[in-house]
Structure 1
Amino acid sequence: MTEFSVRSLTCEYREALLGTDVRVPRFGWKLESDRRGTIQTAYRVQVAESEDSFDAPTWDSGRIDGDQSVFLEYGGPAVRSRTRYYYRVKAWDNHGRETEWSRPCWWETGLLSPEEWKAEWITPDPEAIDPHAIEAFLLRTEFCAKPGIRSARIYATAAGVYELYANGARVGEDVLAPGWTSYRERHQYQTYDVTDLLRGGENVIGITLGDGWYKGELTWLSKRNIYGDRRAALLQLCIGYEDGSEEWVVTDRAWEAATGAIRMSELYAGELYDARMARKDWSEAGEPDGEWHGTVEVPLGYGQLVAQENDPTRVTEKLAPQAVLRTPQGDRVLDMGQNLVGRMRFSLDLSEGAHVRLRHAEVLDKDGNFYTGNLRKAKQTVEYIAGETGRVSYAPHFTFQGFRYVLVEGLELLSDESLKDGFVAEVLHTDMEPTGLFESSNARVNRLQQNIVWGQRGNFLEVPTDCPQRDERLGWTGDAQVFIRTAAFNYHVGPFFTKWLRDLKADQRDTGSVPYVVPNALEDYTSTMWGDKTYTSSAWGDAATVCPWTVYQVYGDRRLLEEQYGSMKAWVEFIRAQGDEESLWNTGFHFGDWLALDAHEGSYFGATPVELVATAYYALSTRILRDAAAVLGKDEEAGEYGRLLEDIVAKFRETFHTSEGRMAALTQTANILPLVFGLVDGEDRKRIAADLNELVRKNGYHLDTGFVGTPYLCLALSENGYHDTAVKLLLQDTYPSWLYSITKGATTIWEHWDGIKPDGTFWSDDMNSYNHYAYGAIGDWMYRYVAGLDLDDSAPAYKLARIRPGCSNEELTFARASFESAYGRVASGWRVEGGEVFVDVDVPANAGADILLPGAQLASATESGSPLQNAEGVRSLAQTEEGVRLTVGSGSYRFRFPTVDAN
C-alpha cells in the first residue's frame, strides 16, 4: 500500500498554541509521500471545539482544489475568547491518492478584548514597602475552590519580570516573562494551563516580581525606569467546573505583599539571594511566613496588552563544566568549554551562612587570568547566602549572563571534583525550533557553523541583541537585518521576528525614522552623542524592509508583509526626504561600514564613504518595497517605487562610479554593495567584480570589511564568477578572517576580527564582545553557495528550491545542508571522491527544485545509476555551459558525474 499522509500541522507557526489573540488564524501542514513528484491537488480542513465533534464541525472548508498548504486562513465563524479549537486536514495528490484525516491539533484563544480583563494591576503598598526597592516583591492570595475542577487558566503579565507559583509549584517553564516589548504600545501577557496544580479547597497563587527591562538598569548610560517607575503584576485565573460554572480569581487589593530572599536581581548586575530571608511555603496554603502587607492598584490600563507572540525564553540545554582551572592569580575558575548565555545552577551541601559568589566572564587574559574588562559596568555577579545547613539547589531568577568562565568564591574547602560535579550551566534563549543543519569536510568550518549557532542562541533572547554580556544587550537593528537570513536557516524565527517587527513599527517615529535599537531604550541618545536629530542610520533602519521581506521569502508569510508594509513605506519615504535630492542619501549621521579594518587604527568607522553605503541601502529598501507592493497587489505603488529605484541606481552610478565604470572608492565594501544590491550591470558589473577579486587577492586573501560589507563579501564573489576566491576567504585562518578566531579558541562569533590579537592582547575594553553574531552572517553564503541550498525568489518558503552545489575538489571535498521548510525537509549535499562528484538532493512533497550540476555532462551524468533522461521525477533537462540543469519534483535524488578534470 502506498504511503501518502498529512503531518506536522501548525496554527500560526505552532503545533499547539495556548493563548493567542489572533482572530483569523492560519493553518499549515506537510505531506509525506513515498512517490516522487507528489503535488497536492486538493485539501480539506475541519475545525471543531472538541476532538469528538468533527461530525458537526465549527468550520469545514470542504474539498478545495489547489496546492496551498502554507498559511491557509480560517474561514469559519468568529472565534470566541478562552476557547480551545481542534483542527484536522486531509489532502489529495496528483497520483490519485487521498490521505486519511490527520491527527487533530489544537489552538486556544486568550482574551480577545481589553474589556475582558477583570483584574487590577497591583504593587505593594508604598507605605509598607519602598516601591523603588531593589529587592524582588512577593505577591500572594488564597482562595477556596469547589470540587470538580474541569479546567483552569491563568492569564498574567507584569510591569517588570515575574515568576508564577500555584500551591508551591512553579507554573510553566518561561524565564523572564513577559519578555521585552515596546511596553507602552505592546505589552505581552501569558496564558498558563494550571488545571493539574489546583485542587478543591484552599489554594494559593503567588507571584515573584522583579525589575527586568521595564524599570531595571538598561544601556551603558545606566538608564532606569524607561517604561515606568513602579513594578506591578496583573493576573486573572479562570476556573471552570464540571457543573458548567466558572470562578475568577484576580489581582486586587485583597492580595498581600512582602519581600523575601531575592535582595537584588538585575539584568546586568546579577543577583543577590539571601536564603536567611526566604519566606518558607509562602505560595502554599496556610499562614504565610513573616510579616505581609497590603497592595495598591497601579493605573496602567489594558489597551496595550497582547497575547504572547513569540516563543518564550526557556532553559534549552544544560552543560556540565569541562574543567576546574587554577589561574596564575590563584582564582578557582570553572571552564564550561563553551561561551554561552544563561545562568549557573548549583546543587551543594552548604553550612548556614555560607556565602557563595560567582563571577562570569567570556575569556581569560593572555596569562590565563580571569578577565572582565570587556563587561564594562556589567557586574555579572551572583551571590548566594545559605539560610540553614543542608542541601541547596539554586539558580538566579531575573538575570542572565554571557560567559564561558565562572570564578567561584566561598567554596574553598570543596575539592575540584566536587566543585565540578556541583555546578551546571543552564542555557537560556528564546525557545526557537532548530531547522537547519550544515556540515563540510573542514573541521574549522564546522566549528564556525557551531559558533554561528551559539551566537544566535545567545543573542536571540527576547530581542535580537548585539551582545549578551556587557552593559548593553540591546536590539540593534543593523545586526538583525544583516543576520536574519542566516538566522532563519538555523532556527524557526517566524514568531520571533513577527513580535520584534511589531515593536519596530511601534517605535518608528512619525517621520518614518527607525531607531538604532528596538525596543528603543536609547531614545534620544544620539542627538547628544553625534548631534543627529534623525535618530537613525542607513543599514540599521533598513531592518524595516529587509526583515519582513526575508520572513516572507523564507516562510511565505504574506500577512506579516502586509502588516509591515506601512512601516516599510514610511522608511523609504523618510530616506526620500533626507538627501539634497530624492534619489541620493547624502545627509545625516551614519554608522557606515562599522568596524571595518580599512580605516585608521582604532577607528570605529570604515573607509567606505557613508554616502555610498546610505544610497546603496536606499536602493535596496526601495527595491524591496517595490517587490512587496507587487506581491500585495499594490500595482500603482509598485510602479512608483520601480521608477524611484531607477532614479536611485542612475544617481548612484553618476555619483560613485568613475568614468571607466569602476567604483571611485577603493575599498572592498564599495565594490561589494553595487554587485549584491543590483546597482550595476553589463561590463560595469564584470569590471567591479574583477576589482573586488583583485582587492581580496592583493590583501593576501583577507577581508577588511565591517558590519555592512562582510555579510555580502563571499556572496558577491560567488555570484560573479569568483567562487574559488570566496572559498579561499572562508578557509583563511590568519588574521583577519572568520577562522582566525577559531585558532584562538573562539566558540562564538566575535565583535572584532582582532578581539584577541595574535600576541594574545585584547582589542579595547570599550567595545569587545566575544559573542556578537553579525559577522556570522557568512552562514547564509555557506548554506546557499557552499552546500548549494537556496530558494527561488519567485516561490517563497522553498516551494521551489534552488540547488547549486559549490563543488570543489581542492579546497573542500564535501558539504551538505538541510532545512526544515514549511513544506518539509529540503536538502543539498555533495562530495568529490575518486574523480567523481556525488550530489544528494531531498525535495519535500508539494514542492520542487531547480538543480544545477556544475560541470556535468548529460552523456555521463546519472541519477541512482540510470541516465538522467530516465529518472523518475525529472520535469525538464538541459545542457548548459555551467553544467546540467534540471527541474525535479519531490523525492530523494542521487546524482553522479565525473569531475571537470575527469571530463
Structure 2
Amino acid sequence: MSYPSLTLEHDLTAPALPTGSPRLSWTTPPGSPAQTGYAVEVTAVDGTVRRSEHDGDESVLVAWPFEPLASREQVEVRVRTRATDGWGDWSEPVIAEASLLHASDWQARMISPREGHAAGDPAPVLATEIDLPDDVVSARLYLTALGTATVWIGDRRVGEDYLAPGWNAYRHRLEHRVHDVTDHLLAAGPRTQVAAVVGNGWYRGELTWDLRLCYGDRIGVQAQLEIETAGGERIVYGTGPDWRAAATGVLADDLYGGQTTDLRRPGALETAAQAGGAVDVLDDVPTLEPALGPDVREIGTLSPLGNWRSPSGAQLVDFGQNLVGWLRIRVLRAADGQLLKVRHAEVIEHGELGTRPLRKARAEDVWTLPAVGPEEPLVLEPTLTFHGFRYAEIEGIALEDIELEAVVISSDLSRIGWFECSDPEINRLHENVVWGMRGNFVDVPTDCPQRDERLGWTGDLQVFAPTAATLCDVRGFLTSWLRDLAADQRADGTVPVVIPDVLVPDVDSQFAAGWSDAAVVVPWVLYERYGDLAVLERQYPSMTAWADAEYTAAGESRLWDTGFQYGDWLDPTAPPDDAAAAKADKGVVATAYLVRTLDLVARTARVLGKDDDAASHAERADAVRAAFRVAYVRADGHILSDCQTVYSLALAYDLLGSDEERSGAGRRLAELVEEADAHVSTGFLGTPVILDALCHAGRPDLAHRMLLQRGNPSWLYSVSMGATTIWERWDSLLEDGTINPSGMTSFNHYAYGAVADWLYRSVAGLAPTAPGYRTISIAPLVTGDLTRASARLLTPYGEAAVSWVLREERLAVGVTVPTGSTATIALPTDDDVPAQVGPGRHTFEVAWRSPV
C-alpha cells in the first residue's frame, strides 16, 4: 500500500500553525484500497513518541488526537492507514509548530516614532542592535504592525511577503505572522541590526473616498525575535522603548495614492544604523491572534507587450493583462535629481491613459533619482502600495533608459480548480475570473483593486464564494475574513456591508439583503466545499444573530420590504447614475434572501445537532416563504416586477409552492430570456442564479444560449472587447471604446465571475453532493452548443475530474473519483450507465440525447 500525503489544518506548515490542535488531512494515491482505520504518530523534539490508532474511514480535517501543543512547541507528525489487507506505510513526516497562542507569550511591545509620526510624514524605520550567541540553532520572528511592516536582520530582508500583517478588524483583532529566521542569524555577525520599515497600509491610509485615519493616527510595529541555542536556552528580543526611529526616503506612501521616494537620501538600512529618534510604546493595541490566511506574495511577473506615444506625447506601456501589483523598473541611465513618475490605469481611452474610473485615487509612484550609469543600474519597486492596472504611463525618463516588468501580487492561494471547453472565448472568460479573483484577494476579498474605494464588500463575496472555493483553496483566507465579520457585527446582529467595516458613520448602508447574508452563505460554502464543520461551529453565533436580525427587519408581515436595500445592484437597465434602480422589486429580492438565509441556518443547526434551533429556523423560513407567495406570486407563477431576477431567485431558492407556480415561473423566465435574445438582464444578485434557474425550468438550451451570447449585455461581451478580468458593469467599456459615463466603473470586479461555478457544476458536470466532495455528482449538461468540456478539482479527498467529448451524436465521458469518495453518474443518454462508481478512473461512451 502506498503511503498517504499528509497536511495540517489549511495546508499550513511550520512555523505558522494558528492552533495547538491542528486537524489532520491526508490523501492516498488512486487505486489505494478503502481505508478502515488510521494511526497518528507524533515525535517530540526530545525523541518522545506518542501514537494513536483509530477505526474508521475519516481522512479530512481529522481531530488532533493528543493534548494540544503549547505555544512554540514543535513535533513531527506522520500518519498511516489500514485497509482489509493490513497497515500501509507511514507518510512522510510533517512538522507541526504552534505559533504564539496567548497574549502572555508576548514580551515585545507595539512601538511608534515619537517625532515625525503624522500621516503625511515619511515612512519611518525603527531599529535596534542585538548581540547574538555563537550557538544559534533556530530562530523565529513573530511580527505584527499597525500599518504594514518590512523587517531586515542584518542586510537580509525577512520573508517574501508584502503588506504584512494585512488588514483586520483593527478595533477588535490584529493578526501576527511568523518567520523562520535561523539562516538570517547564522549569516549575521555577533552584533547585528534589526530594522523595520512601517507603512500606512490599511490602518492609517486612505480607505474610502475622502476617509483617512479610519483606525488611528499612529502606525507602529511589534516584533519578537526568539532564539534557541544549542544549550537549550531561549533568548527573546522584542520591540520596546530602547529602539530608535528615523525617517526614510519614502516621503509618502498610500495604497490608493501610491508611493513617493527620494533615492538620493540614504537607504532604509543605512538610515536605521544612524537612527537616533525616540519611540513611544503604544498600549491600546487590538487582541493579537495568529494569522489564518496565506501571505501576500509576488506570484508572477509580466513583460510589456508594447509601448507607444499617446496623442499628447505621453509614453505608454501595455502589459497585456489587467493585474494587481506594481512596476519593477531597472534604471540604466539617469541624471542626479531626475524625476521618474509612473501612473497606472486599466484601460486606454482616446489614446490616453484612462484614469477617470480611478476617481480620486492617484495610483502614482514617483522617484527622485541619483545619478545612474549602465555599469551600475538601479532597480526600483514600490512595496508600500499596490495598483490595479494593465497600462502604465512613464514620465521623466526615456523608455530606452529603463527596463520594465510588472510584478503581480496576491494572497498566495493554492490553485485547486481548472476548466476548459471547446469555445476559446469561454476559456478566456474563465481565465478572466481567475485573474479577477487573484487581483481582489489581496489579504481581504475586495470588490475592486484600483480606485479610491477597495473594500471587502460582503455582497460581492457572497455571490462569488462558491467560485472562489472552486478555483483556489480559500479556507484559511475566508476563515480569517469571517472572524473579522463576526468581530465587526453589531450588537443587534446586523452585519455591515463591508468587512472590515470602515463605513461606521454611514448608517443607511450598515446592512442589506444579499450583502449582510454573507454571514450565513460564506460559512456554508466552506462547509459544503471543504467539509469544514469547525467553521460552522465557530460562526454559528454570528449566523444566527444575523438571521434573527433579518427576520426582525421583516416584521409581522414576514416581508422585508422596508428600509435601505441595494437590491439587484447594477441591473444593466439601471441608469449610470443610479445603480440601485433595478427592474427587480427590492422587497421581492430581500424577502427571497431572507428565506435563503433561514433555510441555510436551519440546515447548519441540523448539522451541528441543534435540532430545536433547526426546527425554529425552518418554521420561520416556511412562514416567510408563504408570505412571499401570497404577496408577490400569482397562481400562474407570475411574480411582482416580472423580470429575470425575481424568477431566478424564486426558482433557485425554492420559494414557490405548487407545481403550477413553479412551471409558470419557469415558462415566464424562459419567455423573458427569449424576448431579450438571451441577453443578461440581471444585476449582482440575479446573475449568479439565472443559469441554474433556467435549468430548473427545463431550459438548459437557453442557459447555454445566454452563456454564449456575445452582444451587450452578456458575459462574452467584455471578452469580445478585449477584457482580461471581469468588469463591474456589463458595459464598463462601451462599444465605441469609450468608458461608461458612470462614476462607478471598474474593470476588475469579480461578482459577475460567479458564473464560473456553473461552468464546473453544469457544463463540465462536477459538483459536490456531500461536504468536501465525499460524494460527487457527475452530470454534464451537454446541449450540443459545445463539443467538449473538462474540469479538474483537487478536493479534500484527492483529485476529482470529468471530461466529455461529443462527436456525431456519441458522447465519450471520462471520470476520476478520488479514494474515499463515490460518484453518482447522470448522463444525457438512454443507454445504461452505472448509477454510482467508486474511486478510480472510469470511461463511458453512449448515444447522446439532447436534454431539451
TM-score, scaled to structure 1: 0.91
Counterpart position of 1:665: 641
Report the counterpart of residue 823 of structure 1 in structure 2. Answer: 797
Aligned to 2:626: 650
Distance 1:602 1:767 in 2: 8
Equivalent residue for 2:377?
391
Provide the C-alpha distance between the structure 1 equivalents of 2:733 and 2:850, rounded to a whole number of angstroms: 41
Matched, 1:125 2:153: no
Decide whether the 8 Å contact of 2:31 with 2:819 is kept in 1: no
Equivalent position to 2:536, from 546, 561, 581: 561
Amino acid in the other structure paired with 1:668 = Q
The alpha carbon displacement at 1:160 in A equals: 0.8
Q: How does 1:841-852 map to 2 (within 5 A)?
A: 841-852=815-826
Alignment of 1:472-871 (within 5 A): 472-525=453-506, 527=507, 532=508, 535-581=510-556, 583-599=558-574, 602-605=577-580, 606-681=582-657, 682-792=659-769, 795-809=770-784, 811-858=785-832
Deviation at 1:283, TM superposition (A): 7.9
Q: Who is 1:67 aligned against? A: 57
1:312 partnered with 2:286: no
Quick one: distance in 1 between partners of 2:13 and 2:388?
31
| 1:34 paired residue number | 31
Tell me the amino acid that sits aligned with residue 839 of structure 2: S
Give the whole-Å Cα distance in 2 for the aligned partners of 1:385 and 1:297. Answer: 33
- 1:138 — aligned with what? 125
What is the aligned partner in structure 2 of residue 106 from structure 1?
95
Contact 1:552 1:561 in 2 (8 A): yes
**Aligned positions of 1:102-501 closer than 5 A:** 102-126=91-115, 129-198=116-185, 199=188, 201-220=190-209, 222-279=210-267, 281-282=269-270, 288-289=273-274, 292-301=276-285, 304-351=287-334, 352-365=336-349, 367-389=350-372, 390-412=376-398, 414-415=399-400, 419=402, 422-501=403-482
Shift in Å, 1:193? 0.8
Once the two structures are TM-superposed, the CA of residue 799 in structure 1 deviates from its matched residue by: 0.5
Q: How far did 1:582 drift?
A: 6.0
- Letter paired with 1:328: P
Partner deviation per Cα, 1:24-47 (whole Å, 9 max, x = no partner): 221111111335xx4211111112
Contact 2:3 2:91 in 1 (8 A): yes
Report if aligned partners of 1:84, 1:107 keep a CA contact under 8 Å in 2. yes
Change (3 A) 1:361 1:601: closer
Quote the residue 1:880 is aligned against. Answer: none
How far residue 106 of structure 1 moved from its aligned partner, in angstroms, is 1.5
**CA pair 314-206 structure 1, distance change in 2 beyond 3 A:** same
SS for the counterpart of 1:135 is: coil
Cα deviation 1:759-784 (Å, max 9, x = unaligned): 22221251000000000001111111
- Judge conservation of contact 1:808–1:832 (CA < 8 Å) in 2: no
Taking the aligned partners of 2:562 and 2:783, their CA distance within structure 1 comes to 45
Distance 2:586 2:555 in 1: 15
Shift of 1:66: 0.8
Q: CA deviation at 1:388?
A: 3.7
Letter in 2 for 1:204: Q
SS at match of 2:414: coil
Name the CA distance, whole Å, in 1 between partners of 2:205 and 2:22.
Answer: 35
**CA distance in 2: counterparts of 1:434 and 1:27, whole angstroms:** 20
CA distance in 2, matches of 1:212, 1:901: 55
- Quickly say closer, same or farther: Cα 1:583–1:901, change in 2 above 3 A: closer
Counterpart AA for 2:34: I
The whole-number CA distance in structure 2 between the counterparts of 1:184 and 1:437 is 38
What is the alpha-carbon root mean square deviation over aligned residues? 1.7
Deviation at 1:743, TM superposition (A): 1.0
Does the CA-based 8 Å contact 2:7-2:25 persist in structure 1? Answer: yes
Residue 842 of structure 2 corresponds to 893
Q: Alignment partner of 1:4: what SS?
A: coil
Give ranges in structure 2 of 5+ residues lacking alignment. Answer: none
Once residues 791 and 723 of structure 1 are traced to their aligned partners in structure 2, the CA distance between those partners, rounded to angstroms, is 20
Letter in 2 for 1:480: L
Q: Equivalents in 1 of 2:472, 2:547: separation in Å?
A: 29
CA distance in 1, matches of 2:245, 2:404: 33
Select the residue among 18, 21, 37 that pairs with 2:15.
18
SS in 2 for 1:658: coil
Structure 1 residue ranges without an equivalent (≥5): 859-867, 869-876, 878-885
Question: Residue type matched to 1:171 in 2?
Answer: V
How far is 1:789 from its partner? 0.7
Q: Shift of residue 595 of structure 1? A: 0.8
How much has 1:737 moved relative to structure 2? 0.4
In structure 2, the residue corresponding to 1:501 is in which secondary structure? helix
CA deviation vs aligned residue, 1:185-226 (integer Å, no higher than 9, x gap): 110111111111114511111100011111111111x21221
CA distance in 1, matches of 2:617, 2:595: 10
- For 1:273 and 1:600, the matched residues in 2 are separated by 42
User: How big is the shift at 1:836?
Assistant: 1.2
